[in-house]
C-alpha cells in the first residue's frame, strides 16, 4: 500500500476520547515528492476496492474518507513536513496518518 520510501512511526490500537476503539498508523514519507507519495497512496486504496467518500484540503492538510462495503472506513490525513507533526527523519517530506475503527 505504501509504494514509496517510508517509515512507520507508530502502529497502535487505542481508544478515542469518545470511547471508540481504533487502529492508528502514522507513516513518514522519506525523500521524494510529498504530492507524488500522497497520490500513490490514494491510488493504492482505489486499487484494493475503496472509493473516496469525502475529502478536503485546508491549511495544507489533506483530509479524506475512504469506504468499501463490508470493510472498515479509513480516515486519512496527509500533510507535508512543513505543515504536519514533527517527524523523525531529516529526509521526511511529509506524513500520512490512517485511522479506522476496530470492532472487537
Q: pLDDT tens-digit profile of 4-43?
A: 888 999 999 999 999 999 999 999 999 888 999 999 999 9
Domain that holds residue 55: 6-101
Residue 72 within any structural domain of the chain:
yes
Residue 63 within any structural domain of the chain:
yes
Neighbour-count burial of 8, counting CB atoms closer than 10 A to its CB (0-12 exposed, 13-18 middle, 19+ buried): exposed
Residue 74 within any structural domain of the chain:
yes
Residue 1 within any structural domain of the chain:
no
> Closest Cα to residue 66, out of 79, 54, 82?
54
> Closest Cα to residue 64, out of 48, 47, 83, 51?
51
Give the total number of structural domains in the chain. 1
pLDDT of residue 103: 78
Residue 63: phi and psi, rounded to 5, are -110, 130
Amino acid at each position: 500500500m505504501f509504494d514509496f520510501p517510508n517509515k512507520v512511526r507508530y502502529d497502535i490500537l487505542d481508544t478515542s476520547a469518545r470511547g471508540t476503539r481504533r487502529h492508528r498508523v502514522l507513516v513518514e514519507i522519506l525523500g521524494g515528492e510529498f504530492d507524488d507519495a500522497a497520490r500513490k497512496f490514494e491510488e493504492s486504496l482505489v486499487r484494493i476496492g475503496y472509493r473516496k467518500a469525502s475529502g478536503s484540503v485546508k491549511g495544507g492538510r489533506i483530509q479524506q474518507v475512504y469506504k468499501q462495503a463490508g470493510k472498515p472506513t479509513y480516515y486519512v490525513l496527509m500533510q507535508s513536513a512543513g505543515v504536519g507533526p514533527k517527524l523523525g527523519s531529516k529526509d521526511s517530506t511529509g506524513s500520512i496518518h490512517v485511522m479506522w475503527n476496530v470492532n472487537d
